[in-house]
Structure 1
Amino acid sequence: MYIVMFGPPGCGKGTQAEILHVKYNIPAISTGDLFRWHIKNQTELGKAVKCYLDKGELVPDEVTLNIVDERISREDCLENGGLFDGIPRTVYQASRLDELLGKRDLKISSCLNICVPDESIVTRLADRVIGSDGKTYNLVTNPPPGGMSFSRRSDDEPETVRNRLRLYHEMTHPLVEYYARKGIMHTVDGDRPIEIVSVELMGLIDLLAN
């Protein structure tokens, strides 16, 4: 089963992807994680990614898609599918992702869209911190363990977040329509406790599996 996960920055998409990964053993496929893995392991794809990132440029679609293609060719994805987080970002990427899966006689089963109001996102990210263990925490809803040091991300400043949200909505609207036309778009209210959102997402996946 291959699932695309959408949601604005700070909606909890990564947290939910990890919960679903543990529950269903579906590999979480995050472009950010893949970029870091390839750079760390100094693969040819990683060298290409690093070249663009070092210049402050966006990684071109074809490089990103080659990295995703390599990931979905691994045994765990061929057996259990994948949860896409961070791709597709454009209708072109969505179409190319369909092609990459199609050549393996696979397809996207569902698109899970986690919706959270913009101002709730601004508030959430104002409380977001990165623990010394590298994990993301929220000082109000999911604080780091006692005594753990943490840092904040510079792009979590309110005005920066609002700009990111504006760009997100501009880019994502055509994608929502793309998957809605396919009849596989499912929207979930993400402005609720993590556990409640997880239960609803699991319910949708269970329906798909049956």
Structure 2
Amino acid sequence: MDETVKPLRIPPQMSVYADKHSIFHLVQSMVSSLVIDQPDDPVSYLISLLQRSSVDIPRIMLLGPPAVGKQTVAKKLSAELRAVHVTTDTLLQDQSELSVQAHQYTLTQQELPAELLITLIQQRLTEVDCFNRGWVLEGIPQTRLQALGLQQAGVVPEHVVMLEAPDDVLLERSEGKQVDPQTGDVYHQTFIWPVDDIVAQRLEKGPALSEKQQLAELQRFRCEVTGLRSAYQHVLKIINSDQPHNDVYQQVLAFVRTHHRPRTPRILLLGPPGSGKSHQARLLSEKYKMVDVCCGQLLRSVAADGSGLGEEIQPYLDDGRPVPDSLVLQVLEQRLSQVDCSCRGWILHGFPCDLQQAKSLQESQHQPNRVFFLELTEDVCLERLTLRATDPVSGERFHALTRPAPSFQVQNRLETRPEDSTHTVTHTLNQYRLHTAVLQSLYPDAVHIDADQDPHSVFEALESRLSTD
């Protein structure tokens, strides 16, 4: 092997370009479609995929117990997204051999075999309209077995919505069901009533099951719901349907308009001192293997390595003066350009602290694709910082309220860092508040997270927004 060959350096511009044009998402979508559909002519198939108006073709399943409102939501959703509304009834409407075979089961009130249902769905979803416009699958699957069968057949939704409501509400809705004979739209005297009086006048009482049958259907759903949730846990949203219909629909619509994008994470974590930036950065780094870039620690590390840049930085650290932005940006440029940051992504905290620094970062090759503000009141910041102290013997850090020293002896030897004094913390907080408004204006799409809760809850809030548009 030629030892003079240098390892491949992935330029940071690559991931910036890929994010801007959704390259990773496009490639993932195309490869997934190829593997699932296995076309005879892969090149022509990929060309047809690229010629579609959007790579974000809806693939939605709408699940829930009887009378929860699936049909009403599904019809509005398919109209809004111009997607094909697919139900068990529509699967039986064509005259294919499979549909005729399936129709025989419905005539004798028998349940469709899972294999037959899955074949019908697979056949329908590969037709041109579903391929080009996407689909909303209403009330299917009903069991975990059906869900697993659909997955094996390559029917993989991007969003699964499960509507929920108490049994007494569902029973009441079922009894008051009204149907428009011309459109098939479902209404209810209490829950959903048409605005148009002409529509209201032609409503007819919908087909209703007996209370015993309704309870049996509900019981069946309750037995399967855990398995369904497990099968679709990574794309599932559970929505309470016991609220005004329009509120339910808006929540469903907001969810199905989100998209999970594969991306190289470039995360900027901002917040006042004491908001937990370092702790959250460490948790994210440990779980997702991204590089934890703490600006303060990075400057100290470079100052200690004996390099020319480090020698320039050291006097500022010795005197407690701010390191000039030009030097900080050089250090960050070197670190964020390294292979681990380019491949695994990074999470930066401790920089930027003002508008000029933020603009400099934006003008560099290392623009963040996720910005989080950890929000915390000044009183809580002061409490978190000024009441903490370190044991010089063990190096452990304690807090007067949340983690007091284990003994009187340890308590007596605790030391408070100068930067944790009330005066210093108050000054740092004032500086942060002075610049936070302009930082927020520079990052209008930033996610704001309440940091005044336990660290695990803060981490979950961060984690849930890492790859969702």
TM-score, length basis structure 1: 0.85
SS at match of 2:306: coil
User: Which segment drifts farther, 151-160 or 61-70?
Assistant: 151-160
What residue in structure 2 maps to residue 141 of structure 1? Answer: 402
Instruction: Say yes or no: does 1:19 pair with 2:279.
Output: no
Match of 1:72 among 333, 336, 339: 336
Distance 1:145 1:86, change over 3 A: farther
Give the RMSD, CA atoms, in angstroms: 2.3
SS at match of 1:50: helix
Query: What does the per-residue CA deviation read over 1:3-41, in whole Å, with 9 as the maximum and x for residues that have no partner?
Result: 111111111111111011111111111111111111221
Larger Rg: 2
Distance 1:14 1:144, change over 3 A: farther
User: Which segment drifts farther, 50-59 or 109-118?
Assistant: 50-59
| Residues 386, 425 of structure 2: 8 Å contact kept | no
What residue in structure 2 maps to residue 90 of structure 1? Answer: 354
User: Which segment drifts farther, 131-140 or 152-161?
Assistant: 131-140
SS at match of 2:438: helix
SS at match of 2:360: helix
User: Which segment drifts farther, 123-132 or 193-202?
Assistant: 123-132
TM-score, length basis structure 2: 0.40
Letter in 2 for 1:114: L
What residue in structure 2 maps to residue 119 of structure 1? Answer: 379
Task: Quote the Cα distance in structure 2 between the aligned partners of 1:191 and 1:17.
Answer: 16
Gaps spanning 5+ residues in structure 1: where?
none
Task: Quote the Cα distance in structure 1 between the aligned partners of 2:352 and 2:298.
Answer: 14
Task: Quote the Cα distance in structure 1 between the aligned partners of 2:318 and 2:401.
Answer: 34
SS at match of 1:113: strand
Once the two structures are TM-superposed, the CA of residue 143 in structure 1 deviates from its matched residue by 5.8
Identity of aligned residues (%): 28
Query: What does the per-residue CA deviation read over 1:185-207, in whole Å, with 9 as the maximum and x for residues that have no partner?
Result: 11000011111111111111142
| Residues 267, 346 of structure 2: 8 Å contact kept | yes
Query: What does the per-residue CA deviation read over 1:29-61, in whole Å, with 9 as the maximum and x for residues that have no partner?
Result: 111111111122111111111122334432111
What residue in structure 1 maps to residue 452 of structure 2? Answer: 191
Match of 2:465 among 181, 204, 209: 204
Query: What does the per-residue CA deviation read over 1:166-201, in whole Å, with 9 as the maximum and x for residues that have no partner?
Result: 111102221111011xx2x11000011111111111
Task: Quote the Cα distance in structure 2 between the aligned partners of 1:206 and 1:130.
Answer: 37
What residue in structure 2 maps to residue 38 of structure 1? Answer: 302
Letter in 2 for 1:109: N
Once the two structures are TM-superposed, the CA of residue 145 in structure 1 deviates from its matched residue by 8.1
Once the two structures are TM-superposed, the CA of residue 127 in structure 1 deviates from its matched residue by 2.2
Once the two structures are TM-superposed, the CA of residue 80 in structure 1 deviates from its matched residue by 1.3
SS at match of 2:323: coil
Structure with more contact order per residue of length (Cα contacts < 8 Å, sep ≥ 6) = 1
Gaps spanning 5+ residues in structure 2: where?
1-264
What residue in structure 2 maps to residue 47 of structure 1? Answer: 311
Aligned pair count?
A: 201
Query: What does the per-residue CA deviation read over 1:130-156, in whole Å, with 9 as the maximum and x for residues that have no partner?
Result: 355656553433567889775311232
